[in-house]
Structures are given as C-alpha cells and as structure tokens.
Amino acid sequence: MTLQFDDFVLAAATADLGEEPVAREHADAVEFRMDMAAEPLDALAAYDGDLPVIATNRAAWEGGEADDEGRLAALRAAAEHDAVAAVDVELAALTGDAAGPATADAAAATAAHARDHGASVIVSAHDFERTPPREALARLLERASEHGDVAKLAVTATDLDDALRVLGATRAAAADGLTVATMAMGPAGSHTRAVAPVYGSRIGYAPVAPERATAPGQYDLATLRALVDRLG
C-alpha cells in the first residue's frame, strides 16, 4: 500500500489493528503503535485491512513504551509488510542525540530499509514539557525534513501563544516547500489538531475512541474528521 502526503492524511492511532474496520469510515490510514502492542509483528502479518499502515515503535525516551533493544530491528521488519506505507523514526535517534552514534547508524539503516520496501519515512520530534521558541521550531522541522519525507513535530502548549507559534511555524515550513505534520499537545493546544491542516500540516492523529488516546489533547477520530473537513 502507498500513502501520498500531498493532501491531509488522517491516521487512526491504535495499538490494535483489529480497530481498522471501525476506523475506515473516517480515517485515511492507521498509525499502528507497535510499542503498545503485545505481538506487533504477528499483528502485522495477520493484517488484512483496507487502510495503509503507519508503523510507529516509539522509544521510551520519546514518550513511548519500547525499549531500545530490538526496537529499530522490529521497525525494519514492519517495513517489509506490504500494508506498511510509512514508518516513524525519531529525529533524536537519527541524529544520535538520544543514544549516540550507534543508534544514529541503526536509525539511518531503518529509514533506508523502509524506503527500499516502498515506505515513506516520517521523522518525528516531541517535546512533552513546552513549546520551544519559533526559531527552534523552524530548525526542528528543517532537520527532520533533511532525514525524512515528512517532518513531524508535536510540542506541548501551555497557552494560546504557544499554539500560535506552532501554527506560524507550520505555515512558514509549508510555504518553504517542506512536508510537515504538526500539533500542540495538551488542552491549550488541542484545537491545533483541527486547525494545523489549514496552515499546511499533512498528517493528523486520533484514536477511534477517546479513552484510548495515545497523546495528550487528541480528539476522537470522528470528531477530528468532522472538524478538519469543515475547516478545509
């Protein structure tokens, strides 16, 4: 399966690929949180859904549940499945900022392996404490774009000024020709998940049911679909 990010893609974020049939009405893809699944590679092998899969195996140091041991190898194995149209690799892994040069080499090999199997590469950066200054947001998106097909940035907004900086950085990056996916987490930034596509964000994430949110401030899938379509 393939995914084009020329237009907005709404991904149903889940650790259970069995939710895919319910997600089809509203989603364009499924983000499979491998780090939250018991046997993720077995689940991918058994997957026969209609929606393309974004495989994410989020490291514990970036807010996920996966240990470093075997994490990137599992993501490489995931990319070999025809249903996996994109993989998510952390910017901090690719640059070595998280765990050093060995991790950077393994992350680069994961991105290359994914592309060899026809999958796009989403390079992500998260800040669960704050929203950095505008210049720092721009630089993060630029660095992520250097390594990936889509630069994903999720930060934490404590007020509307933080949210506004995210939207401004999104607009500027998109105007410069970058393919980006942006959002501000937390109550003060939840509206950016619906508004950011207007400014050029190409991916949104939402759980099928609100009680299974995978990040702070997520709308449920049906709500986000309705909001994005209405604003678009």
- For this structure, is 126 an active site residue? yes
- Cα-based torsion angle of the residue sequence 26, 29, 35, 36 in order, rounded to the nearest 10 degrees: 20
Least confident of 11-15, 60-64, 144-148, 211-215: 211-215
143: containing domain:
9-231
Report the CATH number at residue 89: 3.20.20.70
Q: Where is the binding site, in residues? A: 31-33, 58, 193, 214, 218
Is the residue at 60 inside a domain? yes
Is the residue at 1 inside a domain? no
Burial class for 42, CB neighbours closer than 10 Å (0-12, 13-18, 19+): exposed
Is the residue at 3 inside a domain? no
Contact 137, 166 (CB under 8 A): yes
Is the residue at 4 inside a domain? no
β-bridge mates for residue 87, sequence order: 55, 121
Q: Which of 113, 117, 126, 191 is catalytic?
A: 126
Least confident of 12-16, 56-60, 93-97, 107-111: 93-97
Residues 41-64 have a mean pLDDT of: 97
Q: Which of 113, 147, 152, 191 is catalytic?
A: 152
**Number of C-alpha atoms within 13 angstroms, CB side, residue 149?**
19
Number of domains in the chain: 1
Query: For the whole model, what pTM was predicted?
Result: 0.96
Is the pLDDT reported for residue 49 higher than 90? yes
* pLDDT for position 100: 65
Is the residue at 105 inside a domain? yes
- For this structure, is 26 an active site residue? no
Is the residue at 2 inside a domain? no
**pLDDT single digits (tens) 10-23:** 999 999 999 999 99
Residues 47-74 have a mean pLDDT of: 96
Alpha-carbon distances of 201 from 58, 104, 114, 131, 213, rounded to whole Å:
21, 26, 22, 17, 20
